[in-house]
Amino acid sequence: MAADDGDREILQAGDGKDRKESGLKKHDPLFRPLDRKQFRFSFWYFLLMLVGLFVLNTVLLKPRVEAVDYSDFKARIQAGEIGRVELGDKYVTGYSMTRAQLEAYEKARFDRNKPAAAPKTYRAVRPADPGLIALMDGKGVEYYAVAPQNNSWLGTLLSWVLPIVLMVVFWNYLSKKIGQPGQGVMSFGANKAKLVAEGDTGVTFEDVAGVDEAKAELVEVVDFLRNPKKYETVGGTIPKGVLLVGPPGTGKTLLAKAVAGEAKVPFFRISGAEFVEMFVGVGAARVRDLFKQAREKAPCLVFIDELDAIGKSRGFSLGGNDEREQTLNQLLVEMDGFDARSGVIILAATNRPEILDPALLRPGRFDRQVLVDRPDLKGRVDILKVHARKVKLDPSVDLETVARGTPGFTGADLANIVNEAALLAVRNGRCCVLPQDFDNAIERVVAGLEKKNRLLNPRERTIVAYHETGHALIAALTRGADPVHKISIIPRGIGALGYTIQLPTEDRFLLTEDELLGKIDVLLGGRASEQVFFDGVSTGASNDITRATDIARKMITDYGMSGKFANVVLPSQRSPLFMPEESVPSQREYSDSTQQYVDEEITRIIAERYARTVKLIEEKRATVDLIARRLLEVETIDEAEFKKLLGEANPPLPA
């Protein structure tokens, strides 16, 4: 519940897995590298043919054989019904005709005037019977023996075909691993990005709801892709790279598809993980190839999903991942290598912006970041509407009620709920979805989410609302504090149950003592509000307090702003170069008595500011109440609405 001044909180670690995109794999007439599908196709065809031949041979071409008892077999020899015998090691097979008779029969076969009786074949299991040969000799039966052999077809299959099939499968697997199906294992470099032809994504902005801010940002990109000429004449530069940032399931991938669908330009899509393979240099080659293709197709859109897979900070991991690093470097080089006027726009998505290499975020690369956040109440209603289009709802279903029951849910969760509800309706043999189906669906989905994304109970929610309002109100009442941009009680990642964002009106390089104290006030405002309204405080403010204490300490030790040590720095040993500051406890270089003084000063400053904050909130009780209630209702309040509410409560600004 930090008074968040623009910096992002840690978003939930990614579930990494992408949901299947069925819309993307369509046949594309423009661009068909030798793709795996084709290869598979011929492979399956081959297998089918093999099976077909086998069946044909065994079933159709073999003469019909009558299985008989051995005694019967011998009786038939006695009776002269058998003219020729094959002595196998397991079976004896008797043919009704001798070789000469068979030849004559074959000749006469097509002669309509002389129809002959068809040859017959009998087979019996062969016991050890030494008398058989004598019997056959006596009857003048032709006989011959065949070398012991089990089923000849099966034998061939096992000894020849199976190894070949295995080899083909293995080859297929190997080329999948290396990424160049069709062209064999030796061409590692080429690209896996799928080019989806114009409009082929089938997704438009209509399908993405509840992320209006992100959509508004992307409209410009769409416009540029549609008519780059317009921008060329004016000469403005459009960002080359736009990074979509947000927790998993909020619709980043969907948004990228929508941009491509709206712009109707070629759309390359590749997932960060696909760049990185087992050989060093493959990823880099792929990046090079991807951009080469993209430039040829400009204007077009390149979408790198799950950018964090390659964009991880190169940081401190000693001996790290060479391959990933090379891939990342190549990506940076490529992004620098063309300017936006070449008409290639790169869109990327990540749910872990904090681990991205800072080099990626520098101007000229992904210099624009678009936050795709969990939807608020209205957003959830809109998303539910989008997905409810696909199912039949009973008129008694109120999607707003559903949205109210699902705070903190992402678009993917909501899509899931609509689907579950529909399934429940079908299971119960109903023709349309009833409100209780939604209730049950929410219960199911919540049970699955419990660990990942805890839901607040109503009392907790109320506390969070008053807490955040406290931050916001103090910010509004503090001279020089950054204006409130957004207040929200949508839980956000681990530990943040709500947030208040202040955006600075201008860049600040110097802060006065009053402004620092003001920052402390704003940070304490959350807890102060809890104290005023709930006669007690919660753990939710621990981050606020840490930050407030930190500012107070710096004021004394670094900025020389305290009475006794005015204009003196109390140095602590700096962290070693290249190490993140928090990882090494700083060591002070002053006496214990000074330390004691510092501690007392910090306590004094915080206590004073807290008392002031509590007093302010008590004075503005009605205002806080009004805003917090509204916040509980709509979950997010933006700058305009906040100002309006302040105006309604009409608080005179303190002198």
State the sign of the Cα–Cα–Cα–Cα dihedral 21, 23, 26, 29.
negative
- Tell me which of Mg ion, ligand ADP, Zn ion, none is bound by residue 613, counting a contact when its beta carbon lies within the kind-specific cut-off of 5 to 8 angstroms: none
The span from the CA of 128 to the CA of 89, in Å, is: 10
Minimal distance in Å, beta carbon 353 to Zn ion? 21
- Please identify, using beta-carbon distances, which residue of 1 and 403 lies nearer to Zn ion: 1
Q: Nearer Cβ to ligand ADP, position 246 or 311? A: 246
Work out what residue 285 binds among Zn ion, ligand ADP, Mg ion, none; the CB cut-off runs from 5 to 8 Å by kind.
none
Closest distance of CB 306 from ligand ADP, Å: 8
Q: Would you say 24 and 194 are in contact if contact means Cβ atoms under 8 Å apart?
A: yes
Which part of the chain contacts Mg ion (CB under 5 A), choosing from 21-29, 228-236, 252-260, 377-385? 252-260
Nearest distance, CB of residue 4 and Zn ion, angstroms: 9
Residue matched to tokens 């609302």: 465
Q: Measured from the CB atom, is 5 or 373 closer to ligand ADP?
A: 373
For ligand ADP, give the closer residue by CB, 10 or 87: 10
* β-bridge partners, 194: 269
Whole-angstrom Cα distance, residue 120 to residue 141?
15
Q: How far is CA 274 from CA 14, 194, 422, in A?
A: 16, 11, 35
Q: How far apart are CA 555 and CA 561, in angstroms?
A: 5
Give buried/exposed letters for 34-59 (b at 16+ CB in 10 A, else e): eebeebeeeeeeeeeeeeeeeeeeee
- The partner in contact with residue 544, picked from ligand ADP, Mg ion, Zn ion, none with C-beta cut-offs of 5 to 8 angstroms by kind, is Zn ion
Cα of 342 vs its chain's centroid, Å: 29
What is the DSSP code (8-state) at residue 491? Answer: -
Residue least distant from ligand ADP (Cβ): 411
- Which partner in Mg ion, ligand ADP, Zn ion, none is near 632 (CB below 5 to 8 A by kind)? none
Q: For Zn ion, which is the closer residue by CB, 327 or 462?
A: 462
Q: Is the backbone peptide bond immediately before 458 cis, with ω within 30 degrees of 0?
A: no
Is position 253 an interface residue for Mg ion (rule: CB under 5 A)? yes
Pick from 190, 169, 168, 167: nearest CA to 178: 190
Active site residue 581: no
Q: Determine which one of 274, 277, 325, 468 is catalytic.
A: 468
CB of 3 to Zn ion, least distance (A): 6
105-to-98, 591, 605 alpha-carbon distances in Å:
10, 120, 117
- Contacted by 415, from ligand ADP, Zn ion, Mg ion, none: CB < 5 to 8 Å by type: ligand ADP
User: In the β-sheet with 84-87, what is the strand arrangement from edge to edge?
Assistant: 66-67, 121-125, 91-95, 84-87, 142-145
413 interacts with, out of ligand ADP, Mg ion, Zn ion, none, CB within 5 to 8 A per kind: none
The residue ranges that bind ligand ADP (CB under 6 A) are 19, 208-211, 246, 248-254, 349, 383, 386, 411-412, 415
Question: In angstroms, what is the minimal distance from the CB of 365 to ligand ADP?
Answer: 21
CB of 579 to ligand ADP, least distance (A): 33
Tokens representing 362? 């520098």
Q: What is the DSSP string of 69-108?
A: -HHHHHHHHHTT---EEEE-SSEEEEESS-HHHHHHHHHH
Residue 242 interacting entry, from Zn ion, Mg ion, ligand ADP, none, C-beta within 5 to 8 Å by type: none
- 563-593: buried (b, 16+ CB within 10 Å) or exposed (e) per residue? eebeeeebeeeeeeeeeeeeeeeeeeebeee
Nearer to Zn ion, 217 or 544 (CB): 544
Q: In the complex with Mg ion, which residue's Cβ is closer, 253 or 326?
A: 253
Which residue lies nearer to ligand ADP by CB, 19 or 644? 19
Closest separation in Å from C-beta 523 to Zn ion: 7
Query: Which positions lie near Zn ion, rule CB under 5 A?
Result: 1, 526, 544
Q: Based on the shown chain and the rule CB under 5 A, indicate whether residue 201 belongs to the binding site for Mg ion.
A: no
Please tell me the count of residues contacting Mg ion according to CB under 5 A: 1
- Select the span of 107-115, 122-130, 245-253, 380-388 touching Mg ion (CB under 5 A): 245-253
Structure tokens at 328: 């990342």
Type of residue at 363 = P
Q: How far is the CB of 38 from Zn ion (least distance, A)?
A: 57
330 binds, among Zn ion, ligand ADP, Mg ion, none (CB under 5 to 8 A by kind): none
Listed in sequence order, the residues at least 6 apart from 393 whose beta carbon sits closer than 8 Å to its beta carbon are 432, 433
Residues belonging to the active site: 468
Binding site for Mg ion (CB under 5 A): 253
